[in-house]
Structure 1
């Protein structure tokens, strides 16, 4: 279901384009008015642009129309932006670039971190990158799975990073924890993320060694920074094989208000594309969102966001314990989810910055695994505040605090369990630029859990040294804690945070068009929860025996991205080697490889733009070596989890065509997943006597998505 749910977010905020041509030209100079040869000039979030010649002059044509942002960039200089209104004809735009004092010429902390921000030199994935990655189909988490360290998963949702399970990777929006970032779990059916990548201007994906500002995650944090004021008023309409949607955003001088709605019904799609699941009521969902932005001063911004989603589905699973194969097990799910937040940012003076945020979310799932009836309710109230102070030109110190109030309840038929967690934390962190080539970041985080009746102190340290103009070495160390799953907390008297200690060594080479990274890591686990049996169903009650589990994860990640060698082409290749083991089964002392971890992972992503055809084409190939699975016929200490699935292969393709419908910019998008029809198996379900088993593979042999996205925009900025 990941490639086909909630896809209108794919191109919802694409810039408005028509086919009247505008020629943009100008000259790029430095502070001494000397030409900057080779500087790049592009339209932001577009493929249109050119490079400056020996005299600093550039010229290119574009079919974009309306308000756009022109970006001039060059290695060793700070990028410059100018906003223009395009309506055909010729436009002259000159740039004067300043030498970079804190980007290329100065070392930055990057160990374990992939950033996707328009303002950063270390750009890895932008919103446009995410929606044009074939295997992702507009899903943030699907695109992140093409980066090193992330495990591809097609039978369950979640980010599995460097030998850690999905609960060890957390998502934050403007510093606020998202308790349920994915659609609700369905056994053996993967779910998409709930949010569009175009809601965010920055995407910081850390695979380890992250800042003391963040906690409650032993493996990874995905930090999303929401967009500010939109450039203009705009509307959108989406027509898809799986449903439809639309929205409108109104922009005033210092204020904007937007509303979007989407309805998805997979019944027609499933009728056309044969499924490998016995759907009784195919998934359908409705989602709506409100986005408010208010510029409170020259440097202040108030943001409010609310997202509501409802989904419903039911399907039948084969009763593997029935030797006649005539009976089935019914599973039904309906889910209500609300996420809302309010954030405020202000630069108090030139050296002090204040960030405040609050959030409320609720997730209610009614689950009907026949003959049972389960209800799970989870609420989260949270508040966070931080201040930062600049010391000198580059060094900075940060301090902050956060609190989370989390009431939750589980209803198992007529048996109800209620509990409340109160989590609080404070942090202090500083970046010290010893020289322009050497920087150290030291931090300390203190956390407390009411349910555990426990506290912890987590030190963090990162050091980076610049080797040359384009490359540097990075080292990171830290302790990372999180409270065990809340379902364990209400059943067992646990009194320890789970803990992971990270050691990371990283080398990277980054220029304007190419990125190379190689990173080695070692992660040591302590106080992991141990259970009696492997957990195979997200709604299966599992009793925690104790918190004496331990383990490790070690490996090497390699990443190469090239936007220079081939014209109009962007590609990247990633490789991960992971050796991970942990002792989380109570009756086994030996550390075992987790069922969600492959030893070898390869991803190849390729994209090509054809300007004359107004089209783009891309593909993603993913490979992962076989993963362990639980075989009840092998339960001895010497052979448990010794079986492996076959290796995983997936080739996905995508094509996009730009056109106009009634003068409105329109994108026609086609994506086909697993186009080669690889017969993948993710795990096996066994009968209770261990004599029969069913292979769990993808929900369909191939996935096909076709959508038409119409963007209706006009310049209302001055109204």
Structure 2
């Protein structure tokens, strides 16, 4: 699987590639033939014979299915054949599965499902969080949602940018949430912090996440007010849980326009243990021959990815999981120097990253459960920059700012984590969770520049936490939590309270309120200069209204955040910064109104200002737009075995500033400011799943075509300024558009859902 097709490969296509892609698409569609079909119909009822509306009935591992109407009746057509599993899902009822044989004959199938335990009817605290794979909250975005979101390119965080509360940032990696910078959101895998979730930074080019969405079975995206079990994120948290055992032994291969993939997953005969490996290689040389880039890549981006995993069911309720990745990439690019248009900056990066995660869950008794997780990561970046003339020859100019532009840097970062959580469930739904975590950060940074610095920093960060779910009734619940945190590097501690309350409104609606304090250490580049800095602090207030059914979701949320102790860089590094963020957000997802269409709409209004870093006073940060919106549409054409996906994202212009030090006035001042043009991006992807499998169903294939920024609109993310402020150049993507085409084949199990967009 390719998890690493980076955003800097977006390119403006030539006439040749446009013609080739169009021809390929026409060939795809012309090959679509009318397949034999089976009609399945019936009525869905509960154990009392009452009709169940708005339930989802489908053929497992296919796109074929329907939703029951107000009388419980359903009907759909499928071209699948042989033994297949019919599944039913509906809020408040136990999942249902039944094997049937599809032989092109009409099937009448009346289904009776049982009402689920009371916990599915109980109110659930959700303020600030979108959850997937949690039956109490239903699914918002699944792994398949992520990879079939046309603009996401199979990147978890890119898909999340279609949800409310996030910003459309193209020049820097990270999740920018509700007025917070990309550094103010953290990612956790199986409960432990990930130190380098994104690929290493490249000037003015956002980097994607390192991990495939199909690694994860559960996704919790918290845009504020997250659980006391997690910390050190001012704005929000992305909490990911890896998958358990696979269904069958399987293999897959893929060939696409920028590389290839291969993988194997083995499940033992007892179906209680598995292991697997994957490898992916990406090289953009051929692509760059067809697609013109704004920057000169003298070292073409090249990526290698390998992973291995094992999963062991230690008991009926226990699971031991291990996962390791190795990733390496390199690139080199030249861009015009902003201080002198006659000079260039030649930037190079070589990166190696290793990540390992080990976790164990087990029920100790009917009421006690334990979780133990650990992870280790090491990341090494070799950076260099060289000032060059028009003949690409190195230049040495002994005056500022040119003297600062020849440098090399070796940045090494290691993180070791250990976390333990004990949970005790009381009678009913109430529970208490408590535990602790230990994180050891080791950073070694060497800079060969005018200062010749070498810094080593170690931090032993410890935390203890406790959290309880209190169900007063099925209609009223509260979540109370607190954390204690201590950093040996800062030699400071804090106590972090969290509170959430939820009240049920009718059968499917509820209201929630959340409050909490959130702290975060300064960034490494700030601690290099001064280790006397303290924690930054944010207070979150969130009010949420939502109504969720199996076919639609409506969510409205208002929030207010107050920032204190933000880092200021003048005069000297200190914690005198402050700010606020407030706004309203809307999310609507609908799977019923239009037959065969699943779509969602999100909108965010954000009002935020802050005084931090070198800002001369409180201003709107340059990563925050006042209005953002997204529309994602997915159309399944079962007759053609084709999935057509489109996404459109919009954002009003973001502010840009030229802030410089005025030596005469002894302070930083604003030399220039304005707003960028509005952001617009329409993307599409088409996934064709021809029936190339043998009768025993061992071989499956999928063709993929994807186009980003279909309308070829010019994007300007920000502006760079010369040292004297006389020159201003726009920050833009390396190319306006990106085109992708690929073919993927899986063996042993139908994994077409997985490969539909694993490489988009």
Same fold, judged at TM 0.5 (above): yes
Structure 2 CA distance for aligned equivalents of residues 312 and 507 of structure 1: 46
| Cα drift, residue 428 of structure 1 | 0.6
- Sort the Cα spacing of 1:632 and 1:112 in 2 relative to 1 into closer, same or farther, 3 A: closer
Asked whether the 8 Å contact 1:634–1:641 carries over to 2, the reply is no
Q: Does 1:41 align with 2:57?
A: yes
| Cα drift, residue 316 of structure 1 | 0.6
Task: Determine which of 653, 659, 677 is the counterpart of 2:690.
Answer: 659
Task: Determine which of 152, 157, 163 is the counterpart of 2:168.
Answer: 152
| Cα drift, residue 105 of structure 1 | 2.7
Task: Determine which of 577, 587, 590 is the counterpart of 1:549.
Answer: 577
1:692 is aligned to 727
1:577 is aligned to 605
Structure 2 CA distance for aligned equivalents of residues 68 and 168 of structure 1: 46
Structure 1 CA distance for aligned equivalents of residues 595 and 168 of structure 2: 30
- Sort the Cα spacing of 1:92 and 1:281 in 2 relative to 1 into closer, same or farther, 3 A: farther
Structure 2 CA distance for aligned equivalents of residues 678 and 601 of structure 1: 17
- Sort the Cα spacing of 1:66 and 1:394 in 2 relative to 1 into closer, same or farther, 3 A: farther
Asked whether the 8 Å contact 2:615–2:659 carries over to 1, the reply is no
- Sort the Cα spacing of 1:456 and 1:338 in 2 relative to 1 into closer, same or farther, 3 A: same
Q: Does 1:402 align with 2:437?
A: yes
Within 5 Å, give how 1:7-18 maps onto structure 2: none
Q: Does 1:415 align with 2:453?
A: yes
Structure 2 CA distance for aligned equivalents of residues 148 and 264 of structure 1: 32
Asked whether the 8 Å contact 1:618–1:655 carries over to 2, the reply is yes
TM value normalised by structure 1: 0.91
Q: Does 1:502 align with 2:530?
A: no
2:93 is aligned to 78
Flag structure 2 segments of 5+ consecutive residues without an equivalent. 11-33, 387-405, 751-760
Within 5 Å, give how 1:268-667 maps onto structure 2: 268-322=286-340, 325-370=341-386, 371-413=406-448, 414-532=452-570, 545-586=573-614, 588=616, 590-632=617-659, 639=670, 642-661=673-692, 663=694, 664-667=699-702
| Cα drift, residue 36 of structure 1 | 3.9
Asked whether the 8 Å contact 2:7–2:206 carries over to 1, the reply is no
Asked whether the 8 Å contact 2:7–2:205 carries over to 1, the reply is no
Structure 2 CA distance for aligned equivalents of residues 68 and 141 of structure 1: 34
1:263 is aligned to 281
Q: Secondary structure at the match of 1:130?
A: helix
| Cα drift, residue 633 of structure 1 | 7.6
| Cα drift, residue 617 of structure 1 | 1.3
- Sort the Cα spacing of 1:490 and 1:648 in 2 relative to 1 into closer, same or farther, 3 A: same
For residues 212-269 of structure 1, the C-alpha deviation after alignment (integer angstroms, 9 at most, x for no partner) is 0110111110010111100001111111111111101011121111100000001111
Q: Secondary structure at the match of 1:392?
A: coil
Asked whether the 8 Å contact 1:176–1:358 carries over to 2, the reply is yes
Asked whether the 8 Å contact 1:182–1:193 carries over to 2, the reply is yes
- Sort the Cα spacing of 1:19 and 1:187 in 2 relative to 1 into closer, same or farther, 3 A: farther
C-alpha RMSD of matched pairs (Å)? 2.6
Question: Does 696-705 or 49-58 show the bigger shift?
Answer: 49-58
Q: How many positions carry a matched residue from both structures?
A: 691
| Cα drift, residue 121 of structure 1 | 3.8
- Sort the Cα spacing of 1:579 and 1:714 in 2 relative to 1 into closer, same or farther, 3 A: closer
| Cα drift, residue 74 of structure 1 | 2.9
| Cα drift, residue 616 of structure 1 | 1.7
Q: Secondary structure at the match of 1:201?
A: strand
Asked whether the 8 Å contact 1:597–1:627 carries over to 2, the reply is yes
Question: Does 27-36 or 632-641 show the bigger shift?
Answer: 632-641
| Cα drift, residue 467 of structure 1 | 1.4
Question: Does 472-481 or 698-707 show the bigger shift?
Answer: 698-707
| Cα drift, residue 628 of structure 1 | 1.6
Structure 2 CA distance for aligned equivalents of residues 685 and 384 of structure 1: 42
TM value normalised by structure 2: 0.86
For residues 287-327 of structure 1, the C-alpha deviation after alignment (integer angstroms, 9 at most, x for no partner) is 000011111111110000001100000001212222xx332
Within 5 Å, give how 1:113-152 maps onto structure 2: 113-117=129-133, 119-152=135-168
Question: Does 636-645 or 116-125 show the bigger shift?
Answer: 636-645
| Cα drift, residue 469 of structure 1 | 1.4
For residues 23-81 of structure 1, the C-alpha deviation after alignment (integer angstroms, 9 at most, x for no partner) is 76776442346554653322356421234578867565544579976431234x22314
- Sort the Cα spacing of 1:68 and 1:303 in 2 relative to 1 into closer, same or farther, 3 A: farther
| Cα drift, residue 586 of structure 1 | 4.8
- Sort the Cα spacing of 1:678 and 1:714 in 2 relative to 1 into closer, same or farther, 3 A: closer
1:169 is aligned to 185
Asked whether the 8 Å contact 1:71–1:79 carries over to 2, the reply is no
